[in-house]
Every structure is written in C-alpha cells, then in structure tokens.
Amino acid sequence: MAKSLDEYEKIVMLKDGSKALIRPVRGEDAEDLLKMFTTLSPETVYNRFFKLRRPFTIEEVQKMTSINFDEEFALVASPLEASELKIIGDARYYVEDKIRAEVAIVVQDRWQFKGLGTAMLQHLINIGRENNIREFYIYVLSDNAVMIHVAKKLGFRLKSQSYGISRFDLTFQS
C-alpha cells in the first residue's frame, strides 16, 4: 500500500447537509461497529448478508476491524455531528486475486438515502484503483432497488442474475 491509512480519510457532505468522515477501519472500532450492527433493521441485515442472522459477537467484529490491508480494505463512516452512533457505515472490498475484489457495504438505517453509501463506495473504488484493483464486483439481492441504483450510478454493469441475486461488475483498464 502506497499511502498511510490516514491519507485515505475524507469528509463528505450528505444530501441533508450533514457531514460524515469516511476513513479506514481501525482495531479500536470494534465496539462502535458492533453497536452499529445491533441497530440495523432486519431488512438492512437481510440486504447486506442475504439472510437474517443472529447478532454479531464482539469477536466477529474484532476480526472485521483487524485486517490485512493487502487482502482487504475496509472503510467506516462517522457523523461529524452529535449522534448516538460513532460508526454509521461500513464498506469493504475483499481481494480475490491481485486485481479483482468483491465489494460489500452497509449503511445504518437512519443514515440511508443521504448519499453516504454512494460516497463510501466511490471512495473505496478509488482506493482500490490506487492499489491496482482493476475489477470490482458486488452481489445484490435482485429486489434491492436502492443498491442496484447505486451500483449502476457508479458504473457497475449487470453481469448475471440467479436465484434472486444479481451480480454487478465494474472493470477498469490497466
């Protein structure tokens, strides 16, 4: 990785005028990330994980915050105004080989529809490109119109559909 992690921090203005800090996840984010996950609606959990799952444990979230940035990259978003949550979004990619990565994202329900997910994914893609990722893909439930809209807005193209799941790809030339 060419930059220090602090250089990937970015403040974004959301559609409602509020601001959020997007930055790489840190080990000390585990409790705040767990708190965000516990506030997600069942629909948001299902849209992100494709199933209704039992609540996360602190051990699972600690693994999500202690990562090897050469194998995956994770961003979190924090509101810059007073909020009951310190983390309101999580976006990450998982490197499959040196130039391809799967993308995943979740935004806390209260913060959805404000442009945060789009901003996080765009920032994540830009970071991936800096780190030589040339192909990104994302799996989306076929009835998740919001995420499909975001994917298309960012240039992802429908690659396949099967059993209610759509795959969208975004490819860059070297």
pLDDT tens digits, one per residue of 121-160: 999 999 999 999 999 999 999 999 999 999 999 999 999 9
* 83 φ/ψ angles, rounded to the nearest 5 degrees: -155, 155
Say if residue 51 is exposed, middle or buried (CB neighbours under 10 Å; 0-12, 13-18, 19+).
Answer: exposed
Segments in the chain forming alpha helices (H): 30-38, 42-49, 58-65, 116-130, 145-153
Q: Extract the residue ranges of the chain whose pLDDT is less than 50.
A: none
Domain boundaries, the chain: 5-136
What superfamily in CATH does domain 5-136 come from? Gcn5-related N-acetyltransferase (GNAT) (3.40.630.30)
Q: Which pTM was predicted? A: 0.93
